[in-house]
Each structure stands twice: as C-alpha cells, then as structure tokens.
Structure 1
Amino acid sequence: MGLKIVKYDKVPEVGYLEYIKEWELSGEKIVPMASERRSESFGDLLAKWSTDETDEVYKKGFVPAALYFLVDKKKVLGAIHFRHELNDSLLYNGGHIGYGIRPSERKKGYATKMLVMLLDLVRTKKYKKVLVTCDENNTGSARTIENAKGILYDKIELEGETTLRYWITLDSRE
C-alpha cells in the first residue's frame, strides 16, 4: 500500500476531481470544508489553498492553514486541514485539525492513519499540543481522535449541539 499524506499542490488533479465528485454526489457536508471546490477550477483551488497558508486570511477572519490529502497511489481517500493557530472560534469549535474520508472509503481505518501521519508532520514543526474537536454524536470521529492519543478535555454546548474537545500532546513519538 502506498498510503501517504501529500500537500494540496502534490495531489493529482484527476484524483482530486474523483474524490470531490463522490462527496458532492453523496449529498453530505464535505469535511473538511477547505477541500470543497465550489465552482472553481483546479488551478483556482491551488491558488486559494496557497493563499490560505498566508496572513492574507486574517482579513476574512480565518487563520493560516494548510490542506493535505490522504492518497493511495493516485486515489485520493481523504483530506485533512491543519490550522496553524487557534482564534476564539476555533478554540471552541473546530480546533487545529479538521478531516474527512470520502464516503466509499470509511470504516477502513484511514481517518486514524491520516490523523497520525499529520500529527507526525506537525510534531516536526515544534507544536507541543493540538486541539481536535468533533460533534458528540460522531462516534467514529471521537474514536479516531482517541486512537491518535487524544484526551477528552471537555464537552461544550454551542447552538444546541454538544462538541467534544480533545487535546493531543505531541512532545515525543512513543
């Protein structure tokens, strides 16, 4: 298996288009939202994702972030979004990391593998800990976070929904 995470600028266009089309046809909310294509061309998306890593995003109320994809050969299995810092909103709902696996590839352990691969990458960038959140009713995501050594910090209520907040310590690889 050639499973790896690659930055947005290394994902094959055909693989991305196949991945995002499956999400769109499913009718589900695309997660992470940063991987949506809306009506943009692939070239426009690459430019947007590049800008997302810069201070330009502060003007829109966002924080710099990088988008990665989980790829097996040329097939895109999922996407994971790493926010370089937390603002007040992300501290309560969103955290540093958002991720999703395309509908046909779920329940195969890919989410945990993708999260662990990203954590290994983030660890090299000198982060000490990261926050990952999920909806209380998303047991699959909670299990993924816990499998990646996430420790439940608390549960918070926002607009009638309960969010679980987990911290993952990145001091050293065990």
Structure 2
Amino acid sequence: MVRLIKPDTSFKSEFLDMISEWKESGEELIPWSLNFNTTDFNEMVEKINGYSNGIGLKDGFVECSTYWLINENNKILGAIDIRHRLNEKLLYRGGHIGYGIRPSERKKGYATQMLSLALNICKTIGIPKVLITCDKNNIGSSKVILNNGGILDSEEIENGEVFQRYWIDLS
C-alpha cells in the first residue's frame, strides 16, 4: 500500500537517501522540487510546502503542491508536483504535473499509482482537465499517463527534442 504525503521534516533521512540514490544513477532529478538545497532540511520543507499557498514563488512560477510517495515502511519511493494552474509556458510544456520514481523502485507500478492519487488531489484543487507532458522517448512515462486516462493532444519539438502533450479529463 502506498500513499502521498506532504513533505515533512521527519522523513529527512529517507529523503536524503532517495536523493543520494538518484544522484548516484547519474539521472536528472525529476520533478524539479527534488533539486532544492537540502543543507537546511527544515527550511527546504517549509519552502516547498509554502509554494502550495503561493508563498515565496519566483516570477513565472505558479502555486504548486509537492507530495512524496511512501510505502507501508515509510520509504520514499518518489515525488510528484501538482501545479494548481498553468501560465503560458506551462501550457506549452510542463503542464500541471511533474513526477518521478527513484531508480531502484521503477517498473513496479508506483508511478501509475502515484499519478492516480495525484489526479484525485487535482479534483480537490478544482482542476477539471490536467495537462501532462513528457519526452517522446520516455515510454514508461507515456504508459503511466495513458494508464490514467491520458489522451495524446500533440507532439512538439523544443531544442531538437520531441515531447508529447497529454490531457486527462477529470470532469
């Protein structure tokens, strides 16, 4: 059984373990909220949680709620960011949701479960239609989106890379 939790300082060692594993893999940390400086962990958690209320947002950013996916043993399996609304940039690429599962926990169905849980939160926030984008070569992510009712809207090219835009209707 997995569940989403808001970032919490009591999960410091679990979070740092996940970040360390990710960095050792050499892969990009996704979603973007995993890239914050963890030197002052309490401050980082406060900053991330403040974004959901629009506190401390930089220009061009929108309100965003971050959740960590944990299992029954309180191991952090991944993270997901839910943007409450879209600006012009996010409407093109980025969308409402960004997510990632730590390397050792992939291909176990966790991303599909995490996105499903996040879509319930989107309904609560009042987002009737969710945009999610992913690189075309990220077959795993596109399957996760399709498994949650995503419908391919378009394929676009940015910096020579093809990415896909999917919509999920929650109404």
Smaller-chain TM-score bracket = over 0.9
Contact 2:6–2:49 (CA<8 Å) still a contact in 1? no
Paired position in structure 2 for 1:36: 35
Q: Residues 4-153 of structure 1: matches in 2 within 5 Å?
A: 4-9=3-8, 12-72=11-71, 73-153=73-153
Kept in 1, the 8 Å contact 2:9–2:41? The answer is: no
State the superposition RMSD in angstroms.
1.6
Gaps of 5+ in 2: none
CA change 1:30–1:140 in 2 (3 A) is same
TM-score, normalised relative to structure 1: 0.91
Gap change, CA 1:57 and 1:136, over 3 Å in 2? farther
**Structure 1 56/62 Cα, relative in aligned 2: closer, same or farther at 3 Å?**
same
Structure 2 contact 80–100 (Cα < 8 Å) conserved: yes
**How far is 1:15 from its partner?**
1.4
Q: What is the CA-CA distance between 1:39 and the residue it aligns to?
A: 4.7
SS of alignment partner, residue 153 of structure 1: strand
Question: Which moves more between the two structures, 11-20 or 106-115?
Answer: 11-20
Please, what TM-score do these two structures have when normalized by structure 2? 0.92
CA distance change for structure 1 residues 8 and 156 in 2, over 3 Å: closer, same or farther? Answer: same
**Separation of aligned partners in 1, 2:93 and 2:37:** 23
Measure how far apart 1:103 and its partner are.
Answer: 0.3
Gaps of 5+ in 1: none
| In structure 1, distance between residues paired with 2:44 and 2:107 | 28
Q: Are the aligned partners of 2:9 and 2:45 in contact in 1 as well (CA < 8 Å)?
A: no
